[in-house]
Structure 1
Amino acid sequence: MKRLVALSLPAVAAVTLAACGGGSSSTTTSSADGGGGTATETTAATTAAPGGSGGSLTVGAASGIPQLNPVLKGTAFEEALFPLLWGGLSRLGPDGTVEPDLATRWTPSADNRRWTFELRDGVRFSNGKALTANDVVETLKYYQDPDTATQLKTALEPVKSVTADGRARVVFTLSRANVLLPEVLVPVKIVDVDSLRTIDREPAVTGPFTVSEFVPGDHVYLRRNADYWGDPAPLDEIRLVKAADSTSAVTSLRSGDLDALWSVPSSDIPQLRNEPEISIVEPDVTGVYVSWEMDLSSPPFDDLRARQALAYATDREAIFKAAYYDQGLVSATNTPLADNSPWFAEGMTDYSYDLDKARELFEQAGVRELTWWGVAGQYPEWNTSGQILQASLKKIGVDLKIENRELSSWPAKFYPAGRRYPGLVVPNFQSFAPDPYFQLSFLLRGRCECNWDSPEFSDLFDEAVATPDRDARKAVWDRAQRLINEQVPIIVPVQTTVATATQKDVVGVWVEGGGLPHFESAGFAE
């Protein structure tokens, strides 16, 4: 339910690119065309560097943090803890490239099926235990254990084995070539498996902060980790707190009770931009896209004409304005990547609002009625979108019934992927790093609740992941995007943004393309 509960990564979310290609002897990070990898040029937006040290920063959100295990993350706001508490072998930098974290370098084999990571010397968990290669091995086993409910299972599926070569070297063996492994591993946080039973009371961490107080669903207080291996955090303390609701959260920001607010409601962003004491921090290229899902395995949406008709019947401009307050971009091509992304494919079909085409295609597919299955009491943008679609369909003789159900009813209805739900249009959203590997991975077999099963798409995806050269890889991704554009497995009316608002004197905050905020370098201006 991650995508519904808040932002989310996917099984590979909030990550970004910069890997090393086949045959290279070693690498740390890569340039926009370095080796076999690529930098994600515009995943992050950042403020100036902190001007001073010390102090306490209070960060609010309308959702709470229910637990502290990064492997079991279920809600998006939990991700805000990742860069503060845990390290991975690689991490994302503010410029959007992947850089060393607990590993100092990585080396791929010539065929990109075997990767060796060299661990940083002198890293200790906050419980005093020294980090070794065995901790990485045990962590990966934990992620891949069938009994572990992690969202990263699909991302790690190609990993055949992880072995320790001494205390400071880890070897990954893959079932198929992957030139992007360092970026795939960004959200994989290394934990002390032996202390998991106490992770919500005394989490053993390797990040710049440690936990001083945790009340599930209410707040997490962090203090600077005096034993952190890297540069000390500018702040003494960070407090992540839950607001009663989105309205209360914005009110607390305006009053100064909050120093920062994550996931600002779209309706409030235009006004907050004009307030002199507030700054809006957001990515240059978003990785968040709205996804209306349909069951492609049953009528009427097993018929391509019905899917194309729905795409043409979607008044994207009206939805963008009324439901998303002009925050983001309209997706005229009905594809996940934003058209300002360097990975966006040109020459795709334009699905701009056209009721004449929609009527003709619906008639050919024999569609007379549909049902919009939304969420009661949450996501007002979904209800607005459904009402706009309902009005459009009425003009061409298609009845859209709107049913909003409690969020608790969703898992049994749609999860895991593969369940049938004929005739329903299901609003959702996805949040990823703005790179094809992550944004398109949702449409692989078994991932999307839309039940799209395209061997051609899977082959293109595997080909792109195995292609070291950036330009050649983009050409493959272009073909994959055109296939999505032609087959319409989901409806993508808009790409939107997940913004973080801060007080004007808060500096050093940046946001990934998927909306994940970074506070590890935050501070207050002098």
Structure 2
Amino acid sequence: MSDRLRRTRSGPALVGAVAAAALVLAACSDANTGDGDTSNTEPGSADLQPGGDLVIGVTSDPDTLFPWRATQFQAVHMLGNVYGTLTELDQNLDVVPGLAETWDVSEDGLTVTFTLRDGVTFADGSSFGSEDVVHSLESIRDEETAAVASSSLARVDEVTAPDESTVVLTLASPDAGLFANLASVNLAMLSSDDTEDALNTTPNGTGPFTFETRVPNQSVTLARNDAYWGEPALLDTVEFRVIPDESSIVSSLQSGNVQMAVFDDPLVADTATGSNVNVTETPQLSYHVLQLNARRGPLADLNVRLAIQCGIDRQQVLDTAALGEGEVTGPITSPAYRSDPNARPCPERDVERAKDYLAEADVDGPVVLETIVSQGEYATSVNEAQNLKAQLDEVGIELKIEPLESGAYVDRWVAADFDAAVALNGGRPEPDGMYGRYFTSDGNLNEVAGYSSPELDELFAQGLLATDDDERKQIYDDVSRHLEDNAVWVWLFTSYTYTVTDSSLQGFVPMANGSLQYLRTAGFAG
């Protein structure tokens, strides 16, 4: 880390307390009885003045305004300030109340009763109630909706509303990951009167900010929601301004035209120096990975996938793409269930072993993999792809790189239209929410994952039934080992985000999951 930068380190030491939050279902009754205000007031500062317009520099336009289908980071983080969820994660990644003020769980873990907050309204002024929760959860569960987090509700059999402020979930089996998963904006609560077409034009949520305007490929502007159920935000507006070139964002920060940006490239962050600029470095749960589609062509052969895994020096990719600022990782980055990065067939690069695996593979001719890579969504992608290509060339495997702009990349990725994909995927504190939708046979992103097995199906089922911390850790260790032994993907490294802010902007708390939810506590010093 450069000593030229006035950096501060932010984020939990990637807290083990998440395990307790994930296991709250197993605690049965009185799962949460807090007043729910802590997450809204704790990070703020009494010295900040209400008002002001914040401009955040971003490199790409959100590819959707519909929260149930959002996978692009820019869309997810912006929409997280517009929409509310039944539960939330605080700055320590602990589960806290959201639109559900309290919840109780039956002794057998099969009935969850949520009590909703009173007086919550949507941005259009309509009231929020149990009918909206039933509509939202049932719509997410409906295959036709194509919601990207529908697997998080796979164990829900029925959603009912005994009255306006109560919602009851009947589960087929206990679900230890339910409450952490419900905090995702992909499970946002929408009005039962809204449609996808309408929301893709004018989002209508219950969050601390409301959607104001969008100029495609230029900006999205949010305004403070004065009717928000929690402590109102300090800022009048937040504009996400699209500036494709990161060096131009840095210049705008230094000139004061932009007051905030989040970079993932330490070299870019190093250039953002100046007396008016602060930089906060935050370790992330998200992970860089070479995704392999094991259902296509030569990748269906395990020996080919093992050759790829053994042919890659992950530290070299990290050093080349991110100046070594990060950590080599295994599959699971969740704090309480973190994988051992060396628990794999080739902990270190072994070119000769890779060539042996390739020689044993039942494939005809050279192995050439159509490999997609996103340009614009995160800065290190192309450098990662080029380094991976150079390393695998030495093994006799060609990555045929196809750079795509962010929106086109997401479309190809969601359709699983690739042999391999250089990806930055979001991590979650709950491992089932992180991977259950990918690697179970009925997971809604299993086509994207390109792999499933009966063994993994059983392990994920066990993980949600387990009530003991150590037992869950062992189960997810087994999940990780299966993924690595079968070279399902090649997990590379976790890295940092670098939140660059004007020194007058205070009260914002960067989070390990990349969320920008604490824009609601940010403000300008008087």
Question: Shorter-chain TM-score: what band?
Answer: 0.7 to 0.9
- With over 3 angstroms needed to count, the CA separation of the structure-2 counterparts of 1:49 and 1:80, relative to structure 1, is farther
1:411: how far off?
7.3
1:10 corresponds to: none
Q: Deviations over 1:302-352 (max 9, x none)?
A: 333322221121122221111222232123xxx2234x9442245723521
1:22 corresponds to: 26
1:124 corresponds to: 121
- With over 3 angstroms needed to count, the CA separation of the structure-2 counterparts of 1:23 and 1:384, relative to structure 1, is closer
Q: Contact 1:498 / 1:514 at 8 angstroms: preserved in 2?
A: no
- With over 3 angstroms needed to count, the CA separation of the structure-2 counterparts of 1:255 and 1:125, relative to structure 1, is same
1:376: how far off?
7.6
Q: Contact 1:212 / 1:221 at 8 angstroms: preserved in 2?
A: yes
1:487: how far off?
1.6
1:344 and 2:338 correspond? yes
1:444 and 2:448 correspond? no
1:458: how far off?
1.6
What is the number of residues matched between the two proteins?
485
Q: Contact 2:152 / 2:433 at 8 angstroms: preserved in 1?
A: no
1:200: how far off?
5.6
Q: Deviations over 1:137-195 (max 9, x none)?
A: 11223323333242222222332221101111100122332022111111222122314
Distance 1:400 1:184 in 2: 38
- One-letter amino acid of the counterpart of residue 352, structure 1: E
Distance 1:189 1:366 in 2: 46
1:426 corresponds to: 421
Q: Contact 1:29 / 1:99 at 8 angstroms: preserved in 2?
A: no
1:231: how far off?
1.4
Greater shift after overlay, 364-373 or 246-255? 364-373
1:353 and 2:349 correspond? yes
Q: Contact 2:213 / 2:221 at 8 angstroms: preserved in 1?
A: yes
1:409: how far off?
6.7
Structure 1 length normalisation: TM-score?
0.83
- With over 3 angstroms needed to count, the CA separation of the structure-2 counterparts of 1:134 and 1:450, relative to structure 1, is closer
Distance 2:93 2:281 in 1: 13
Unaligned runs of 5+ in 2: 1-17, 35-41
1:81 corresponds to: 78
Distance 2:385 2:453 in 1: 28
Q: Deviations over 1:16-55 (max 9, x none)?
A: 772423352212279xxxxxxxxxxxxxxx9774631222
Greater shift after overlay, 321-330 or 433-442? 433-442
Q: How does 1:254-265 map to 2 (within 5 A)?
A: 254-265=254-265
Distance 2:468 2:514 in 1: 28
Structure 2 residue corresponding to 1:362, chosen from 349, 358, 367: 358
- One-letter amino acid of the counterpart of residue 97, structure 1: D
Distance 1:205 1:248 in 2: 32
Distance 1:412 1:189 in 2: 22
1:207 corresponds to: 207
Distance 1:218 1:498 in 2: 23
Distance 1:303 1:113 in 2: 41
Q: Contact 2:374 / 2:409 at 8 angstroms: preserved in 1?
A: no
1:102: how far off?
1.1
- With over 3 angstroms needed to count, the CA separation of the structure-2 counterparts of 1:99 and 1:415, relative to structure 1, is closer
- With over 3 angstroms needed to count, the CA separation of the structure-2 counterparts of 1:229 and 1:507, relative to structure 1, is same
SS of equivalent to 1:124: coil
- With over 3 angstroms needed to count, the CA separation of the structure-2 counterparts of 1:133 and 1:392, relative to structure 1, is closer
Distance 1:47 1:195 in 2: 33
Distance 1:207 1:394 in 2: 49
Distance 1:512 1:182 in 2: 18
- With over 3 angstroms needed to count, the CA separation of the structure-2 counterparts of 1:47 and 1:409, relative to structure 1, is closer
- One-letter amino acid of the counterpart of residue 215, structure 1: V
Q: Contact 1:213 / 1:220 at 8 angstroms: preserved in 2?
A: yes
Structure 2 residue corresponding to 1:183, chosen from 180, 183, 187: 180
1:270: how far off?
3.6
SS of equivalent to 1:22: helix
- With over 3 angstroms needed to count, the CA separation of the structure-2 counterparts of 1:63 and 1:160, relative to structure 1, is same
1:156 corresponds to: 153
1:266: how far off?
4.4
- With over 3 angstroms needed to count, the CA separation of the structure-2 counterparts of 1:146 and 1:361, relative to structure 1, is closer
SS of equivalent to 2:169: strand
2:112 corresponds to: 115
Q: Deviations over 1:359-412 (max 9, x none)?
A: 22222226743335234855664443343334334444x152533254577678
Higher helix proportion (structure 1 or 2):
2
Distance 1:171 1:74 in 2: 28
2:475 corresponds to: 476
1:241 and 2:241 correspond? yes
Q: Deviations over 1:81-138 (max 9, x none)?
A: 3443222111111121110111111111223222110011222223332222112111
SS of equivalent to 2:356: helix
Q: Contact 1:288 / 1:498 at 8 angstroms: preserved in 2?
A: no
Structure 1 residue corresponding to 2:327, chosen from 322, 329, 332: 329
Q: Contact 2:286 / 2:427 at 8 angstroms: preserved in 1?
A: yes
Q: How does 1:171-320 map to 2 (within 5 A)?
A: 171-187=168-184, 188-196=187-195, 198-199=198-199, 203-272=203-272, 275-284=274-283, 286-320=284-318
Distance 1:411 1:223 in 2: 28
Distance 1:239 1:409 in 2: 24
Q: Contact 1:434 / 1:513 at 8 angstroms: preserved in 2?
A: no
SS of equivalent to 1:155: helix
Q: Deviations over 1:456-476 (max 9, x none)?
A: 112111111121222221121
Distance 1:68 1:406 in 2: 21
SS of equivalent to 1:280: strand
CA RMSD of aligned residues (A): 3.0
Distance 2:370 2:382 in 1: 9
- One-letter amino acid of the counterpart of residue 220, structure 1: V
- One-letter amino acid of the counterpart of residue 277, structure 2: I
- One-letter amino acid of the counterpart of residue 29, structure 2: S
Distance 2:394 2:119 in 1: 67
1:56 corresponds to: 53
Structure 2 length normalisation: TM-score?
0.83
- With over 3 angstroms needed to count, the CA separation of the structure-2 counterparts of 1:250 and 1:115, relative to structure 1, is same
1:4 corresponds to: none
Distance 1:235 1:69 in 2: 24
Q: Contact 1:62 / 1:244 at 8 angstroms: preserved in 2?
A: yes
Unaligned runs of 5+ in 1: 1-15, 31-45
1:58: how far off?
1.2
Q: Deviations over 1:248-293 (max 9, x none)?
A: 2232223221111134444313443x65533334544x22112212
Identical columns (%):
25
